[in-house]
Amino acid sequence: MDLDTLSDRLRRGDRRALSRAITLVESSRDDHRRDAAALLERIADPDRQAMRIGLSGTPGVGKSTFIEAFGKMLTGQGHRVAVLAVDPSSARSGGSILGDKTRMPHLARDPSAFIRPSPSQTELGGVARRTREAIALCEAAGFDVVLVETVGVGQSETLVARMTDLFVLLLAPGGGDELQGVKRGIMEIADLILINKADGAMRRQAESTRADYAGALRLLRRRQGDPDGFPKALAVSAVDGVGLDLAWAEMRGLADHRRATGHWDRTRAAQNRHWFEEAVRHGLMRHLAGDPATRDRMAALGEAVAHGRAAPSAAAEEMLGRLLGTKAEGPENPEGG
């Protein structure tokens, strides 16, 4: 399929075209990269903006159950919902756990939904670019809610928070220990904390966990410009569907407020700038790793620095001089070669 056909079908909301387009942006082949860049230029449309929601939680907390119920609720209201995943563990195992269609069987069959598992890739930096581009493709295909799911480990939350408009953290009912276990960094990026499994025997505990988190969140600094009460903690049950409508109302309220104050656009602008700079850095790193002479010199300088034969900053200057084609004095090699 040529790029014109692909972008036409994509913009008409054709899910197969969307799948193909995502496969294209996931490829690292040079010709695919060029086509992907051309496609992304072609489909860019400021009038098609989805609400991008990051969603995180440790395995077993109920992410897939929540996304299935929440997604069905939204498609029932006429929304079109895309689910993407950033799964750092899939890079290690080579398979994907998150975003697996079998985890969300009803949503996967819903014609108003689109589910895409995490790309398997060794580098989180590469996953970031692919996911960001996949979000752009979903928006162009007319999906007005894009959920980006990730697991509560490592840096993936920060990464997802930098490509979404809202960040939701899903937690299980639990006592004080649980509260301690949540890294402060994650608390700081969450706009909404949902205590899931607030049903049956766990309902009361979920409510008290919610109160604990609400208290902890009050101690955090409110993000500039956000309305009173945010970040907020709510108790929900993904299984019973309780609290999902309220959670959505809170997300919409926060989004409307941020749009009205200009915060929304400013955040997206800052995110775009971040990803541009990140792409430049990533390109430099790839060049460092990809060119054998550069890689060898990098390793040799690393050894020299490790053994005290060269100062880190002087060695870095030499390396940068090589990369940028400027003349820099190397510590071990004054000729620069």
Q: Footprint of ligand GDP on this chain (CB under 6 A)?
A: 57, 59-65, 196-197, 199-200, 237-239
Considering the complex, what minimum distance in angstroms separates the CB of residue 15 from ligand GDP?
Answer: 23
Task: Pick the closer one to ligand GDP by CB: 246 or 260.
Answer: 246
Considering the complex, what minimum distance in angstroms separates the CB of residue 156 from ligand GDP?
Answer: 14
Considering the complex, what minimum distance in angstroms separates the CB of residue 238 from ligand GDP?
Answer: 4
Backbone angles phi, psi at 329, to 5 degrees: -75, 120
Nearest to 49 by CA among 116, 141, 131: 141
Considering the complex, what minimum distance in angstroms separates the CB of residue 239 from ligand GDP?
Answer: 4
> Contact 58/170 with Cβ under 8 angstroms?
no
Distance, in Å, from the CA atom of 253 to the CA atom of 40, rounded to the nearest integer, reads: 30
Q: Which residue has the tokens 């054998």?
A: 292
> Contact 208/249 with Cβ under 8 angstroms?
no
Task: Pick the closer one to ligand GDP by CB: 200 or 215.
Answer: 200
Task: Pick the closer one to ligand GDP by CB: 239 or 316.
Answer: 239
Considering the complex, what minimum distance in angstroms separates the CB of residue 241 from ligand GDP?
Answer: 9
Distance, in Å, from the CA atom of 328 to the CA atom of 304, rounded to the nearest integer, reads: 17
β-pair type (81-86, 145-151): parallel
Considering the complex, what minimum distance in angstroms separates the CB of residue 144 from ligand GDP?
Answer: 24
Task: Pick the closer one to ligand GDP by CB: 103 or 232.
Answer: 103
Task: Pick the closer one to ligand GDP by CB: 238 or 310.
Answer: 238
Which residue's Cβ has the minimum distance to ligand GDP?
Answer: 62
Instruction: Indicate the angle between helix axes 15-26 and 3-11, nearest 10 degrees.
Output: 130
Strand partners, 170: 194
Burial per residue of 159-194, b for 16 or more beta-carbon CB atoms within 10 angstroms, e otherwise: bbbbbbbbbbbbbbbbeeeeeeebeeebbebbbbbb
Considering the complex, what minimum distance in angstroms separates the CB of residue 164 from ligand GDP?
Answer: 18
Task: Pick the closer one to ligand GDP by CB: 25 or 193.
Answer: 193
Who contacts 277 (Cβ-Cβ below 8 Å, separation ≥6)?
none
> Contact 156/167 with Cβ under 8 angstroms?
no
Considering the complex, what minimum distance in angstroms separates the CB of residue 79 from ligand GDP?
Answer: 21
Task: Pick the closer one to ligand GDP by CB: 70 or 264.
Answer: 70
Task: Pick the closer one to ligand GDP by CB: 18 or 61.
Answer: 61
Other CB atoms within a 10 A radius of the CB of residue 138 amount to: 29
